[in-house]
Amino acid sequence: MLDLKVDSSWTLFLDRDGVINQRNFEGYITSVDDFIFLPQAIEGLKLLSQQFSKIIVVTNQQGIAKQIMTEQTLNEIHQHMIDTLKNEGVSIDKVYFASNLKGAENDRRKPNNAMALEAKRDFPGIDFKRSVMVGDTSSDLIFGMNLGMKTVLIQSEEKVDITPDLTVKHLNELANVFNK
């Protein structure tokens, strides 16, 4: 069990697909219509937004480099997510995405730390030792571990070979762990 006293100095880093919305294991989320919130994600984010000072989304989106979707479409999907959550009282501070192909020369994709370092530049108060990374893949967990974050795995069909600090079924379960 993860025994943390999270307060307003902590930052929550979230993967997107498989954590906030349903993941398409056959491909990519390429439109607003494809973006479906996971059960209990919004409820969990409501609680988590009261517990953490910042909520940052970090997501690998190589569908742009593969020309399956455009950056404009991705921005529309993210704006839909942000607006829906805002209507529920949840503020996402910023969404960072890696649009490059896996293994590109300047690879921003998780588990590389480029998106986290960009977030730290934008929000200098972020302390990775006082941050939690929530994801559903090994690369999400390695990303968090490499930066000294606590790691949480959202269980899914994904095969994960890394041991996180905590495993939960959904964001609402995570919020309840921190709410104790």
Write out the catalytic residue numbers: 15, 17
- Judge whether 108 and 98 are in contact, CB under 8 Å: yes
Structure tokens, 121: 């530049």
Bridge-partner residues for 58, per DSSP?
96
Question: Coil, strand or helix: which one is 177?
Answer: helix
The CA distance from 78 to 74, in Å, is: 6
Task: Quote the strand ranges of 4-149, DSSP E.
Answer: 11-14, 54-60, 94-98, 131-135
- Residue 143 gets which letter from DSSP? H
Which residue type sits at 9?
A: S
Cα atoms found within 13 Å of the Cα of residue 164, Cβ hemisphere only: 25
Q: Are strands 150-154 and 54-60 parallel, antiparallel or unpaired?
A: unpaired
